[in-house]
Amino acid sequence: METRPYAEPYKIKVVEEIKLNTKEEREQKIKEAGYNLFNLKSEDVFIDLLTDSGTGAMSDNQWSAIMKGDESYAGSKSFFELQKTINTLLGMPYLIPTHQGRAAENVLFSALIKKDDVIPGNTHFDTTKGHIEHRQAVALDCTVDEAFDPEIELPFKGNIDLAKLEKAFNDYPKDKIKFTNLTITCNSGGGQPVSMKNIKEVSELCKKYDKMLFFDAARFAENAYFIKVREEGYQDKTIKEIVREMFSYVDGCTMSSKKDGLVNIGGFIALKSEELYRQCSVYEIMFEGYLTYGGLAGRDMAALAVGLNESTEYDYLHSRIRQMQYLGDKLVEAGISIVRPVGGHAVYVDAKSFLPNIPQSEFPAQVLGVELYIEAGVRGVEVGVVLADRDPVTRENRFPKLDLLRLAIPRRVYTDNHLDVIVWGLKQVHKRRNECRGLKFTYEAPIMRHFTARFERV
Ligand SMILES: *Cc1c(COP(=O)(O)O)cnc(C)c1O
């Protein structure tokens, strides 16, 4: 018997038109943009895979919650609804809403991090690292070594190496490490998950050394899905049960709601300790706003409460992760090399093997991004030499081991047909890969150059 084909667990009620301009127009637009995809106008992009942050589609239930948002300055009904939802889902009674994830980091870290502190974790996200280093503290990467080898297919490449973590606890003076920061899913490799076993063991180690443990929870629901389908003993548990267990091992979390919150803006801190909540409240009021809105409109909190319940449903998560795997499998079938295994929110194309005749000094992943845009109107983002910036001391380019084109998939936005266009576009570029030319800078900012750089063809 033929197996039943897969179909998404939703139908489309509102659509947004996207326009495909001509290849000649795209060639012109990207030239005007200095061959930097960040400089393109979104209206000139057909399929936008720049990021999965804040780019998802809200449901009809979220849109109706928007209408019911309570815009009171203090004591908003929408705040209490969100607090109740988060406490039910995560088991965290204290909620501090913020305007996005990095604002949650700013508030929590203001309360906890002092100069010369050390914050161990599994490859801190760039804003997290920024907020740590801005306080003249150190973000110490304790991820398992396998995470840095794209050839190794392992189910939980986001895990923390317990030996590295314990060494850190022993090496630094006791008062320098107050907490460990565990990012779920780990951003490296497009969202590699952390196993429940690892979360539990990290938690036990932290308790042994009297350290707190926080999640950077931006993609906690995607992480829970991977635990369900990959880790023994979780197949029969619901996503919500798995989420509840994950959060039972930590003291709190910072969250960018623009990811698994299924909203376009927002973030929060959730905590178990009233004492820490009090300490954070001071900075919340100073940086974000009063305690019951923190930089958000009441309607934003209302939509988030609904979004958190939707993103922790198996059917939704299955449709999402399946898309990532669909795209990855099609690319592999076409003989295009990608980072394996495919993570929870993005597929990474290996640009060095795609464009072997373009040296790293001519930015192969940037070239691939430009050519994919010209070919198919698809916008990805370079994760390679351009992003790696120059060495701050020698001012030489840093050459990372991998030069990658990241294709991040927005939530509930594109269909498999769009994904087929991406695959087609990459195949077209692959056919003419020997004619692709490298790039060189015409403008380069001293740091974070990838956002504003301009290039010309070599
Ligand atoms: C996006 C993100 C952040 C920062 O959140 P913003 O909402 O962009 O400020 C922090 N950590 C992780 C893992 C993220 O993905």
Tell me if 157 CB under 6 Å of ligand 1. Answer: no
What is the pLDDT, as a whole number, of residue 187?
Answer: 79
Tell me if 345 CB under 6 Å of ligand 1. Answer: no
How many angstroms does the Cα of residue 190 sit away from the middle of ligand 1?
Answer: 13
Establish whether 300 is a catalytic residue: no
Parallel, antiparallel or unpaired: strands 404-408 and 346-350 = antiparallel
Q: Which of 326, 301, 249 is nearest to 96 (CA)?
A: 301
User: Along the 458 residues of the chain, how does pLDDT read in single tens digits?
Assistant: 899 999 999 999 999 999 999 999 999 999 999 999 999 999 999 999 999 999 999 999 999 999 999 999 999 999 999 999 999 999 999 999 999 999 999 999 999 999 999 999 998 998 899 899 899 999 999 999 988 887 789 999 999 999 999 999 999 999 999 999 999 999 766 799 999 999 999 999 999 999 999 999 999 999 999 999 999 999 999 999 999 999 999 999 999 999 999 999 999 999 999 999 999 999 999 999 999 999 999 999 999 999 999 999 999 999 999 999 999 999 999 999 999 899 999 999 999 999 999 999 999 999 999 999 999 999 999 999 999 888 878 889 989 888 999 999 999 999 999 999 999 999 999 999 999 999 999 999 988 899 999 999 99
- Sheet with strand 346-350: strands edge to edge: 346-350, 404-408, 381-383
Considering only CA atoms, which residue is closest to atom 1 of ligand 1? 256
- Sheet with strand 252-256: strands edge to edge: 94-98, 267-271, 252-256, 212-216, 179-183, 118-121, 138-141
Establish whether 126 is a catalytic residue: yes
How many angstroms does the Cα of residue 104 sit away from the middle of ligand 1?
Answer: 9
Q: Which of 234, 247, 450, 455 is catalytic?
A: 450
What is the pLDDT, as a whole number, of residue 225?
Answer: 98
How many angstroms does the Cα of residue 357 sit away from the middle of ligand 1?
Answer: 35
- Does domain 60-311 bear CATH number 3.40.640.10? yes
* 3-class SS of residue 458: coil
What is the pLDDT, as a whole number, of residue 1?
Answer: 82
What is the pLDDT, as a whole number, of residue 391?
Answer: 83
Tokens at 315, concatenated: 């059917």
Tell me if 216 CB under 6 Å of ligand 1. Answer: yes
CA distance 30 to 38: 10
Query: Which amino acid makes up residue 426?
Result: L
Tell me if 256 CB under 6 Å of ligand 1. Answer: yes
- pTM comes to 0.95
Q: What is 23-52+314-457's CATH number?
A: 3.90.1150.10
Tell me if 100 CB under 6 Å of ligand 1. Answer: yes
Q: Are 188 and 177 in contact (CB under 8 A)?
A: no
Of the residues 107, 122, 123, 125, which should be mutated to test ligand 1's pocket, given the most ligand atoms within 8 Å of the CB? 125
DSSP string, 222-243: HHHHHHHHHSTT-TTS-HHHHH
Residue spans of the domains in the chain: they are 23-52+314-457, 60-311
